[in-house]
Structure 1
Amino acid sequence: MEPNNDFEIFLVATPGLEAPLHAEAVEQGFADTKPVPGGVTCRGSWPEVWRANLCLRGANKVLVRLGGFPAVHLAQLDKRARKFPWAEFLRPDVPVKVEATSRKSRIYHAGAARQRIEVAITETLGAPVSSDAAVRVLLRIEKDLCTFSIDSSGEPLHKRGHKPAVAKAPMRETMAAMFLRECGFDGSEPVLDPMCGSGTFVIEAAEIALGLRPGRSRSFAFENLPSFDPNAWSSMRQQQPLAKPDVVFHGSDRNSGAIEASTKNADRAGVADFTMFQTRSVSDIKPPSDAAGLVIVNPPYGARIGDEKRLRSVYGSLGKVLQTKFKGWRIGIVTSNAGLARSTRLPLLPPGPIVDHGGTKIRLYQTGVLT
């Protein structure tokens, strides 16, 4: 067993966005960070687990590796699971949900393995098992090695806790934050999203500029664990660095319902004073400030809403407006279709890695500074 104060922590990334999450974790001072497929590993104590949930904009979940043992059959798994120090990690009065996966192992039946762990936890600790429990214990059996982790986050971390209104086909907050980072955004320049939907890019940009922590408005599964210290957590949450940016972050959309949703969301997130949303079509957009900055946009793509032929003209007119009116600005376009990106006629750099957006493969296409 690892000592109780130093765990391997696994930060779950959106596939394709491991690199910016790694950069963010390094910037935030997490120890021994290493990008791996599907996320980033680092090391730390329970307070570091809390801090990862509170502060990291790009992580979808924060999993804590509790330890493990080898097992080649169910009876052995059963015996060793009963000796595992569950009381260090789980409370007897808090329900748990167990999930199991198995690959390249002699214990190949994940469902049977899960049942053995459930029984071990209820009989040695007394904690009830429930399919909708907030606390999830994850068993991974790989090459006969059983590893236990706990999901410290609960609800996925893109659910910031202050965004009720969602337009159709929304961009997840965690992804938006990482695409902003990939575009070199650091909070010091204006941002415009001319197809802003429910305002995700604009609100994330404002939060980054203000130094607002993404997890400030919500609760987490780790609050139900024996290691949780409410006083230490309370003081961690209060240390809120608040910069006052001298730029405003802008969103526009031709749909007035989207603008209404964006405005509400910005207000709930506490960034209403630093964001501005307007109903206007793409052909009517113009630079919102004298200072140049970043235009970032997630236009509709064929697989999602609308058909490709019609969309080519949308992308074409977007490209035309940006090329003529936005000299000195950089552009970031998130789309699933390279042909649509090219139909903007913008001087695109090589695209970023393929990112899995709920089963749709998307990429970030960027320009340098437009001349």
Structure 2
Amino acid sequence: MRKFEIFVVTAPGLEKPLAAEIAEAGFKKPKMMPGGVRFRGNWQDVWRANLCLRGAVRVLARIGNFQCMHLNLLEKQIGEMSWTPYLRSDVPVKVEVVTQKSKIYHAGAAKERIEKGLVAAVGVPISNEAEVVLKVRIDNNMLTFSLDTSGESLHKRGHKPAVSKAPMRENMAAMFLRQMGFDGSQTVYDPMCGSGTFVIEAAEMASGLLPGRSRRFAFEQLASFDAEAYAGLKVSGTLVPTNRFYGSDKDAGAIRMSVENADRAGVADVCSFEQKSVGEITPPDGPPGIVIVNPPYGARLGDKKGLFALHASLGKALSTHFSGWKVGIITTDAGLAKATNLPLETPFATVAHGGLTVRLFTCEVP
């Protein structure tokens, strides 16, 4: 089966843990790039990457490129490309174009010519609402064509409709857990669990559940899709974790969301959620594990006073009760991390998250 370049997009700053995950999943020679990781593979690798990579945002299949310096030649060159191995004449396509440092400098005009070329070549319907997206990058007069094989962002696992006000995305949670050294064997506790993302993600990882098991993908509408072969990839053994996963939150609504989400994800049997404030937290029974938390950041200056008190309360509870536990705190503000009075360090890159830049601070509680 022919191989081509596959580019797995992630949140900027999480390329390194994603590359480690890709290598562990058996994909060959992953190479980090800004905003993601690339490797070579075939269509089954594309399907498997969407289905099993927890740190991925989306998976792009690089299907071709050519050089073009004149807008009036673009439609003709599109018609000369081989599209039938990828696109179906009965499935709409959306075209997205970005251009830089090129003689074809007007993205909108290029988009129109590419769309006309596709209609002439394949008879494919064009729609801005289509799930199948053809991404075209024009850089130094070279056009590179990539199919977005994911559809909706891969952080949407398909079994978590209930979310809190400022949710941690599942793909980011998985990579932060990986950076904390989580391998499925440790107890994980989130004392500000919101809708349960860290707890549920850890429980799924420990249970060997595929992150994409509950959802559909754009690649299912491509000409290259083989439903029978894909069904074989979805079969996976389920592990039974010997440890449990815990979350608490002062908000009763958050606890209800977490319980519902864990049930939908199929991990309710290994997750426990309890309503309590951060000042009241105590460790569950068993050996020390991992505490990971995404506290409020306080984007507005007026929020900060209360947040310093909140972080101090969290730090005091951890120092008093969680000796030997590994702690990870995600925040935008080193001052808030310092307010915990824990010996936190920042060994990892900053990560783009919702227009902000966050960082994972970590330590072992003395």
TM-score band, normalised by shorter chain: over 0.9
Q: Give the aligned partner of residue 331 of structure 1.
A: 327
Residue 226 of structure 1 aligns to a residue whose secondary structure is: coil
Name the counterpart of 2:230: 233
1:315-342 Cα distance to aligned partner (Å, 9 max, x none): 0010011011000100000001110001
CA contact (8 A) 2:346 2:361 kept: yes
Distance 2:365 2:339 in 1: 17
Aligned counterparts of 2:300 and 2:188: Cα–Cα separation in 1: 25
1:343 aligned onto 2:313? no
Identify the match of residue 162 of structure 2 among 165, 178, 194: 165
The CA RMSD over aligned residues, in Å, is 1.1
Please point out which of 9, 28, 32 is paired with 2:29: 32
> Partners of 2:238 and 2:231 in 1: how far apart?
17
Name 2:314's counterpart in structure 1.
Answer: 318
Aligned with residue 185 of structure 1, among 167, 182, 185: 182
1:235: how far off?
A: 1.3
On the 8 A contact 1:6/1:44 being kept in 2, the answer is yes
1:106 CA drift (Å): 0.7
- Where 1:31 maps in the other structure, the secondary structure is coil
Give the number of aligned pairs: 366
Q: Which runs of 5+ in 2 are unaligned?
A: none
**Matched residue of 1:43: which SS?**
strand
2:135 aligned counterpart, secondary structure:
strand
Structure 1 residue runs of 4 or more that deviate by more than 6 Å after TM superposition: none
Aligned to 2:205: 208
SS of 2:12's partner is coil
Q: TM-score with structure 1 length normalisation?
A: 0.97
Instruction: Provide the C-alpha distance between the structure 2 equivalents of 1:297 and 1:72, rounded to a whole number of angstroms.
Output: 51
Distance (whole Å) between structure 2 residues aligned to residue 243 and residue 79 of structure 1:
53
The answer to whether the Cα contact below 8 Å between 2:346 and 2:360 also exists between their aligned partners in 1 is no
Structure-to-structure mapping, 1:1-371, within 5 angstroms? 5-238=2-235, 240-303=236-299, 307-367=303-363, 369-371=364-366
Structure 1 residues 91 and 333: CA distance shift in structure 2, 3 A: same
What CA distance in whole angstroms lies between the structure 2 residues aligned with 1:171 and 1:351? 20
Could you tell which deviates more after superposition, 351-360 or 216-225? 351-360
Please tell me whether the aligned partners of residues 346 and 359 of structure 2 are also in contact (alpha carbons under 8 angstroms).
no
Shift, 1:65, TM fit:
0.1
**Distance in 1 of aligned mates of 2:55 and 2:207:** 17
- Cα pair distance change 1:280/1:304, threshold 3 Å: farther
Shift of residue 306, structure 1, vs aligned partner: 7.0
Q: Which deviations, in whole Å up to 9, do the C-alpha atoms of 1:260-306 show, x marking residues without a partner?
A: 00000000000000100000111111001221100000000111797
Identical residues among aligned pairs (%): 57
Structure 2 CA distance, aligned partners of 1:84 and 1:66? 10
Structure 1 residues without counterparts, runs of 5 or longer: none
Q: Match for 2:251: what amino acid?
A: N
TM norm structure 2:
0.98
- How far did residue 350 of structure 1 move? 2.8
